[in-house]
């Protein structure tokens, strides 16, 4: 497989702190690759190293098989969409978009046709002669995307491009960015701290914490089969219990016995996602199911779904159910049974960190 971008044992330290430690990963050509993690985890540093705005302390960075460690930013075939948009306030929207072509002295005709092309992807026709300060945040960000795209970079870098926008607009632009990326097949590195955004848009996600990449996988594997304590906790909102695993049985203070599959023995954690737990008023006995008894503590009616907090042996388990308008909603204080498939409980042992 040919890659568009490769990091090989890259580290970067700023005076006393390590921003990223020994990072290695590859991004395939045409891939939408997200760097996901809480703020300060080093994801933006990786992006800035690709852009050439920072230089790695050690390790190698390749774009299209070419070592680019010491290349100046203006000589790299990459373009960035900055979180703060960074549009030039003294230039019109059009002048902003064609800046990269003009700097490289493209012919007028080429510039015009490139502009046409990018405008066919991102509709900005009505704004071309306006100044950035006359645009809304969403419009400004679309200009910033057009300004990067028009250069047809080998790698497009996006640094939390939707971070400053409200939820509705963010969701709309997610779809827009994704469809532009799919039609242009531009290799994209997308930095975000928003897990739903990363899950919705990416071909692959690298989850980061404290300067390290913990897991790189496609969204489905990452969400359903995390291999790591941090990743398990960071994505979604799972129920987590600490205990000991012995012969495919999990034992803790709260639970007598919860069945798990395919795991070694030792102290560790189990994770159960709220949405895989079903509930009913009768006990379920099935060899493939776990079933526990609990008392409903709170019901949070959220419209399109329902959160039920159930107390099981004095510990709380959260259940999340999609609202199909046909749910038999239990009362608070009512006794119910919770059940879920054994193979959907996953385990991270302590020695797996």
Partner 1 sequence: MTRNKLNNILGLPGIIFLSVFFFTPSLFIFRYIFGSRTRTGKTSFDKIYFDSFSQLLDFNVLPIINKSFVTAFFVTLICFIVGYPFAYYIKKLSTTMKYFSLFLISIPFLTNFLSRTYSWKILVSKNGLITKYVSMFYDVSSLLFTDFAVVLGMVYVYLPFMILPIFTSLENIEDSLLESAKDLYANPFKAFYYVTFKLSLPGVIAGIVLTFIPSLGAYIIPQILGGSKSMYLGNFTVLQFIQASNWPLGSLVSLIILLFMVFAINLLFKFEGQRNL
Burial class of residue 162 in the structure, from the number of CB atoms within 10 Å of its CB (0-12 exposed, 13-18 middle, 19+ buried): buried
Residues 6 or more apart from 191 whose CB is under 8 A from it? 34, 35, 43, 44, 46, 47, 157, 158, 159, 160
Q: Least distance from C-beta 79 to partner 1, angstroms? A: 6
Q: Minimum distance between the CB of residue 98 and partner 1, rounded to whole angstroms? A: 10
Q: Is 353 in the site for partner 1 (CB under 8 A)?
A: no
Distances, alpha carbon 91 to alpha carbons 134, 141, 159, 237, 310, in Å? 12, 15, 22, 45, 58
- DSSP β-ladder status, 289-301 and 305-312: antiparallel
**8, 24 Cβ separation under 8 angstroms:** yes
Whose CA is closest to 152, among 202, 78, 67, 83? 78
**Residue 80 CB, nearest distance to partner 1 (Å)?**
5
The window from 76-84, 256-264, 296-304, 333-341 that contacts partner 1 (CB under 8 A) reads 76-84
The two structure tokens encoding residue 85: 């948009």
Q: How far apart are CA 305 and CA 320, in angstroms?
A: 7
Q: What residues from 86 to 125 belong to the interface with partner 1 (CB under 8 A)?
A: 86, 88-90, 99-100, 103-104
Interaction between residue 78 and partner 1 (CB under 8 A): yes
Q: Which is nearer to partner 1, 37 or 52 (CB)?
A: 52
Of 207-266, which residues contact partner 1 (CB under 8 A)? none
Cα torsion angle, 220, 223, 228, 234, sign: positive
Nearest of 276, 306, 269 to residue 290 by alpha carbon: 276
Q: Is 72 in the site for partner 1 (CB under 8 A)?
A: yes
Give the list of residues 6+ apart from residue 226 with CB closer than 8 angstroms, or none. Answer: 215, 232, 235, 271, 346, 348
Q: Pick the closer one to partner 1 by CB: 83 or 209.
A: 83
| From 140, 151, 187, 215, residue interacting with partner 1 (rule: CB under 8 A) | 151
Q: Is 128 in the site for partner 1 (CB under 8 A)?
A: no
| Smallest separation (angstroms) from partner 1 to the CB of 184 | 18
Binding-site string for partner 1 from residue 161 to residue 200, where x marks contact by CB under 8 A and - marks none:
----------------------------------------
Shortest separation between residue 38's beta carbon and partner 1, angstroms: 22
**Could you tell me the CA-to-CA distances from 32 to 180, 218, 325 in Å, in that order?**
11, 10, 36
Strand partners, 242: 269
Q: Which is nearer to partner 1, 105 or 353 (CB)?
A: 105
Piece in contact with partner 1 (CB under 8 A), picked from 16-24, 26-34, 68-76, 250-258: 68-76
List % helix, strand, coil for the chain (3-state, nearest 5): 30, 35, 35
Q: Find residue 79's DSSP bridge partners.
A: 156
Name which of 89 and 287 has its Cβ closer to partner 1: 89
One residue of 28, 53, 306, 327 binding partner 1 per CB under 8 A = 53
Nearer Cβ to partner 1 (79/215): 79
Binding mask 273-312 for partner 1 (x = CB under 8 A): ----------------------------------------
What residue ranges bind partner 1 (CB under 8 A)?
51-53, 72-75, 78-80, 82, 84, 86, 88-90, 99-100, 103-104, 131, 147, 151
């Amino acid at each position: 497989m040919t890659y568009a971008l490769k990091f090989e044992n890259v580290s970067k330290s700023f005076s006393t702190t390590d921003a990223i430690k020994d990072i290695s990963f590859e991004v395939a050509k045409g891939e939408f690759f997200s760097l996901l993690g809480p703020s300060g985890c080093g994801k933006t540093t990786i992006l800035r190293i690709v852009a050439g705005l920072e230089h790695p302390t050690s390790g190698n960075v390749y774009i299209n098989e070419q070592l680019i460690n010491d290349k100046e930013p203006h000589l790299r075939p990459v373009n960035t969409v900055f979180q703060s948009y960074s549009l030039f306030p003294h230039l019109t929207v059009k002048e902003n978009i064609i800046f990269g072509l003009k700097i490289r002295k493209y012919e007028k005709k080429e510039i015009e046709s490139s502009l046409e092309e990018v405008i066919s992807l991102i509709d900005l026709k009505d704004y071309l002669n306006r100044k950035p300060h006359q645009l809304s945040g969403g419009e400004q960000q679309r200009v910033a995307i057009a300004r990067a795209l028009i250069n047809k970079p080998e790698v497009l870098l996006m640094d939390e491009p939707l971070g400053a926008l409200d939820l509705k607009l963010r969701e709309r632009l997610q779809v827009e960015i994704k469809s532009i990326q799919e039609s242009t097949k531009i290799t994209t590195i997308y930095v975000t701290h928003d897990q739903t955004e990363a899950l919705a848009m990416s071909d692959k996600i690298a989850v980061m914490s404290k300067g390290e990449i913990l897991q790189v996988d496609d969204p489905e594997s990452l969400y359903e089969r995390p291999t790591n304590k941090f990743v398990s906790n960071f994505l979604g909102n799972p129920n987590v219990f600490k205990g000991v695993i012995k012969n495919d049985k999990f034992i803790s203070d709260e639970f007598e016995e919860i069945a798990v599959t395919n795991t070694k023995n030792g102290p560790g954690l189990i994770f159960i996602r709220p949405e895989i737990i079903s509930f009913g008023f009768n006990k379920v006995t099935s060899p493939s199911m776990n079933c526990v008894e609990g008392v409903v503590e709170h019901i949070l009616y959220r419209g399109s779904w329902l959160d039920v907090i159930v107390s099981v042996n004095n510990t709380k388990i959260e259940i999340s159910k999609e609202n199909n308008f046909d749910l038999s909603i239990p009362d608070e204080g009512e006794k119910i049974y919770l059940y879920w498939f054994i193979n959907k409980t996953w385990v991270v042992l302590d020695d797996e960190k």
